[in-house]
């Protein structure tokens, strides 16, 4: 099986030497994804807006890999504020309510102080919940 790299075109990827996603067989590993709009390289201040944008970015990477959010089997949320989970939870459910992946939430400092959330997923093509 061959490995395929997917890029969003973000300058972060070329500077830090990583891919938005890596497809390895049926597995799709999407890097930690923030709420930056990669076309405009802007980020909104609102946590929920950042979470929505992060999921749009993730969905785009998964689509390029031939997968979807319904095939996510693992998700990790990285948040800069422990109280953020309550506000972001409904957004998570909106995008992952069907796949209901194994999940972990981690409170940590993120690279850019404008970032309030970063989301990392692993999907397996063909594994959508019935």
Within-domain flag for 129: no
pLDDT in tens, 70-116: 999 999 999 999 999 999 999 999 999 999 999 999 999 999 999 99
Within-domain flag for 49: yes
Could you give the number of structural domains in the chain? 1
Six-digit token string for 114: 């404008």
> Which of the four pLDDT bands, split at 50, 70 and 90, describes residue 14?
confident
The CATH number assigned to the domain holding 107 equals 3.30.1330.40
Q: What distance in Å separates the CA atoms of residue 70 and residue 84, rounded to the nearest whole number?
A: 24
Within-domain flag for 120: yes
Q: Which domain holds residue 80?
A: 3-124
Within-domain flag for 61: yes
Cα dihedral sign, 63-69-74-75:
positive
Q: What's residue 7's pLDDT?
A: 86
Within-domain flag for 130: no
CA-based angle 103:10:8, to the nearest 5?
Answer: 65
| Residue 69 DSSP symbol | G
pTM of the model: 0.93
pLDDT in tens, 28-82: 999 999 999 988 889 999 999 999 999 999 999 999 999 999 999 999 999 999 9
Give bridge partners of residue 76 from the DSSP assignment. Answer: 104, 120
């Amino acid at each position: 099986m061959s490995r395929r790299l997917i890029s969003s075109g973000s300058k972060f990827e070329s500077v830090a030497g990583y891919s938005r996603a890596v497809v390895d067989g049926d597995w799709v590993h999407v890097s930690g994804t923030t709420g930056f709009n990669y076309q405009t390289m802007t980020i909104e201040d609102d946590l929920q807006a950042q979470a929505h944008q992060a999921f749009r970015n993730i969905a785009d990477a998964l689509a390029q890999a031939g997968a979807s959010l319904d095939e996510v089997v693992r998700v990790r949320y990285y948040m800069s504020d422990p109280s953020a989970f309550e506000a972001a939870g409904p957004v998570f459910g909106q995008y992952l309510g069907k796949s209901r992946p194994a999940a972990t939430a981690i409170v940590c400092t993120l690279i850019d102080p404008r970032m309030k959330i970063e989301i990392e997923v692993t999907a397996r093509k063909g594994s959508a919940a019935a």
